[in-house]
Amino acid sequence: MDWQKTHTGNTFSIIGIICGAIAFLLLPVLFGPAGLILGGIGLSKKESLGIVALIVSGVGMIAGFIIGAVVYNSMI
């Protein structure tokens, strides 16, 4: 079972990507940082999608804030 020691899953990274996608549309204050944290954990565990999770979460959070500000300003 030597392969199990070197194989790492992408669990944290995939959840981080999902959080980043949700942050784009809903609650970037909550899901953006959660995605960044999970992406960082995935990167520290050497998951292959760790950097992707960080990028998607960061972009999703920033875009979510921008979209929220635009929608809020258009309602005033």
Of the pLDDT bands very low, low, confident and very high (cuts 50, 70, 90), residue 9 is confident
What pLDDT score does 16 carry?
95
* End-to-end Cα, the chain, rounded Å: 62
What pLDDT score does 52 carry?
94
Note the pTM of the prediction, 2 decimals.
0.82
For 36-70, the pLDDT digits (tens) are 999 999 999 999 899 999 999 999 999 999 999 99
Residues 3 and 31 sit within 8 Å (Cβ to Cβ)? no
- Backbone φ and ψ for 46, nearest 5 degrees, come out as 60, 35
